[in-house]
Amino acid sequence: MSIIHTHNITKTYNPDTVPVHAINGVTLSFNEGGFSAIIGPSGCGKTTLLNMIGGLERPTTGTVEVNGETINTKSKRALTEFRLKNIGFIFQAYNLIPVMSAFENTAFIMELLGWPRDKIKSRVMELLEAMDIADKAHQRPNQLSGGQQQRVAVARALSTRPKFILADEPTANLDSHATGNLLDMMLKMNEREKTTFIFSTHDDRVMRRARRLIKLDDGKVVDDARS
Amino acid sequence: MIVAYAWRNVWRNSTRSLAVILALATGLLGALFIAALANGMMDKWVKTAIDNEISDLQMHHPEYLITQELTSTMDQDRIAQYLKADSNIASYSFRVKVDGMAATANNSVQVTGLGVDPTTESEVTNIHHLVEEGSYFEDQSNFKSMVISRKMADKLKAGLKSKIILTLADAQGEIAYENFKVTGLFATNNTMFDESTIFVEKDQLARILKLEPGQVHEAAARVVDPDLLEVTVAGLNSSLGDVETESWKELNPTLKVTASTMDLYNYILVGVVLLALIFGIVNTMLMAILERTKEIGMLTALGLSRLKIAQMIIAETVFLCLVGSTIGNLLSFLAIGYFGRRGIHFEEFAEGFESFGLSAEVFPSIDTEMYFTITIMVVITAIFSSIFPIVRAFKLEPAEAIRD
Ligand SMILES: Nc1ncnc2c1ncn2[C@@H]1O[C@H](COP(=O)(O)OP(=O)(O)OP(=O)(O)O)[C@@H](O)[C@H]1O
Ligand SMILES: [Mg+2]
């Protein structure tokens, strides 16, 4: 069943001065439980596409539907709440709050949603154990390696069991060992919790693990392969 | 959690935060100490005026207050009955009062002559404690005694045992004069009072003035409980309709107005200090927000609402300011407490002070309430200072903030 549907979306930056056509008519559907990668050369529009799916940017034309709901017409405030309740985000860097421990960072969204304390605690520990960093729960981000930090970000993104997780080049700053490791974790959670993952990457090793590869070039889908 | 986050954010750039904290602490310490000094001077001024001159309350014939006519007298025995019956009256004394001229062979000075009963007067004012040479009407010779200030003695070029002629107009409007001998020299710290007032015995002055026996111009009294002063005054006014009873506040309106506006001035002083500090606080918070552009953008992307962002910035600013004001309040409390017990001596300025009736020794003091009010003022300042940083944070677009 499709949970995300983009209908002929375009994105033009600076339409009045020097227009940049970042996305030029993309129509895509994502099914529940998928593990899809958006690939393509630098500047092809991967980040722009993910941002529009995640309600961080509005398409210039076209619509984005999540669970049958059109999100691109929502107000800024409604979008913020929508993101909080429906989407998990993992960014390339600056994912974590430096003054908070791995535990607190993982708990952040559950706290915002007002989950009861004991429920938060057990969920955080469950996730940190699954991510193999339970022993680092009380360390702050600067005491963790890059790979460990990204695993905390994955744990936080998964914490409230969102409809899907968007990850923009989550492994770009990691070495090959940490990359493989993070991918293992993401795949494990994709299987265990049936969470839908959509991520972008340039990394061949990451592409090989995806079950669907969407190739962008110049803001257009040039290949969409499922395995 | 927002609260814990905000608290930790205060200490992220601890040097920068400490600068604001120290500025606030020293600013408040300075303002509060000056306020306490002003209070101390005021208290001393009021207390001295009450102790030496006014006492807590005075009673007069209503006409006397306007015309100071010597014939506008009151019957002392009748008033004594009422004062004796009032449980809040600790002591009282009656006075005969006249303006006249004191003269020696060398000089003459315009004076206010106060005819007092030395025994009862000592229970109402403390001039008898301020006699530095001679005594307060203890000299039992045949002479009529006069007690004058040192400053008056200087003006008259007189000293102990000097002869002074007091010339005045009596109750019938006839010129009268009498010889006195100086038997005591006093000094208050109010130059104006010292240069105008002389003391003689009440019965002698009444006789010179040809007043009916038992007639006086003024009654002065001290109360047991100063907090009940107004009640006592109102009570006496209603039971003694033909006599006007007034508290020190009415007798010396300047004293009262100055004493009550003091608090206002003190708050204005603190307000000005806080106003000056707002710029530093706003600047610090703006820098803190700008430094965290990516972090705030990331959190907005995750779904942190504007309300929560505003709460976070307000909490952070309030914490920053509260740390500063708590240190400032604490230091002020200690400093004011210490000097309040020990007193501060303004020897160098003493002369100037005393001409205003102020004492050269000041005991700074402050109402505990002021610390709380200031804390509230600081919180309001902090909230006000967060507006600009909040507006700044709201302008961040999450998509732009996280792209690098
Ligand atoms: N805010 C912006 N204003 C103007 N142009 C922009 C803006 N953001 C992105 N672009 C342009 O849009 C195009 C697509 O950018 P995007 O970041 O989506 O590419 P990408 O595929 O994510 O690239 P990379 O692999 O380097 O991250 C690029 O040409 C980029 O320069
Ligand atoms: Mg990108």
Number of domains in chain B: 2
The stretches of A73-162 forming alpha helices (DSSP H) are 76-86, 102-112, 117-130, 146-158
Predicted local distance difference test score (pLDDT) of residue B355: 58
Number of domains in chain A: 1
Q: What is the largest CA-CA distance in chain A?
A: 53
Residue B365 domain boundaries = 2-50+255-403
Tokens standing for B303?
């779904």
Q: Does residue B143 form part of some domain? A: yes
Predicted local distance difference test score (pLDDT) of residue B404: 66
Q: Does residue B55 form part of some domain? A: no
Quick one: B378 and B236 in the same domain?
A: no
CA neighbor of B201 nearest in space, from B180, B222, B218: B180
Would you call A80 and B403 a contact, using CB atoms and an 8 Å cutoff?
no
Quick one: B27 and B120 in the same domain?
A: no
Quick one: B332 and B197 in the same domain?
A: no
Nearest ligand, CA A38: 1
Is the ipTM beyond the 0.85 threshold?
Answer: yes
Nearest ligand, CA A44: 1
Residues in chain B within 8 Å Cβ distance of A80: 300, 303-306
In B, residues 293-332, which contact A (CB 8 Å cutoff)? Answer: 294-295, 298-306, 308
Quick one: B34 and B106 in the same domain?
A: no
Q: Does residue B247 form part of some domain? A: no
Min Cα distance B292 → chain A (Å) is 10
Q: Per-block average pLDDT, block size 10, for chain B (404 residues)?
A: 92 94 95 92 83 89 89 93 93 95 92 94 90 87 89 93 92 91 90 92 93 93 92 92 90 79 89 93 94 93 95 96 96 94 75 59 89 95 96 90 77
In A, residues 21-60, which contact B (CB 8 Å cutoff)? Answer: 47, 51, 54, 56-57
The Cα–Cα gap between B147 and B198 comes to: 6
Quick one: B146 and B230 in the same domain?
A: yes
Q: Does residue B295 form part of some domain? A: yes
Tokens standing for B181?
């001998």
Residue that is written with structure tokens 């963790």 in the block: A144
Mean pLDDT over A67-81 rounds to 93
Q: Does residue B289 form part of some domain? A: yes
Quick one: B308 and B341 in the same domain?
A: yes
Q: Pick from B210, B242, B274: which residue ends a domain? A: B242
Quick one: B176 and B277 in the same domain?
A: no
Closest residue, chain B, to A79 (C-alpha)? B303
CA of A4 to the centre of ligand 2 (A): 20
The Cα–Cα gap between B211 and A195 comes to: 109
Question: Who contacts A119 (Cβ-Cβ below 8 Å, separation ≥6)?
Answer: A110
CATH number at residue A98: 3.40.50.300
Quick one: B85 and B187 in the same domain?
A: yes
Predicted local distance difference test score (pLDDT) of residue B46: 83
Quick one: B263 and B378 in the same domain?
A: yes
Residue A130 domain boundaries = 2-226
Quick one: B38 and B150 in the same domain?
A: no
The finding on whether A171 has its CB within 6 A of some atom of ligand 1 is: no
pLDDT score of A212 more than 60: yes
Q: Does residue B380 form part of some domain? A: yes
Quick one: B399 and B285 in the same domain?
A: yes
CA neighbor of B386 nearest in space, from B305, B270, B306, B283: B283
Predicted local distance difference test score (pLDDT) of residue B399: 87
Predicted local distance difference test score (pLDDT) of residue B348: 61
Contact A47, A219 (CB under 8 A): no
Quick one: B27 and B71 in the same domain?
A: no
Predicted local distance difference test score (pLDDT) of residue B350: 59
Q: Does residue B249 form part of some domain? A: no
Q: Does residue B248 form part of some domain? A: no
Mean pLDDT over A205-221 rounds to 94
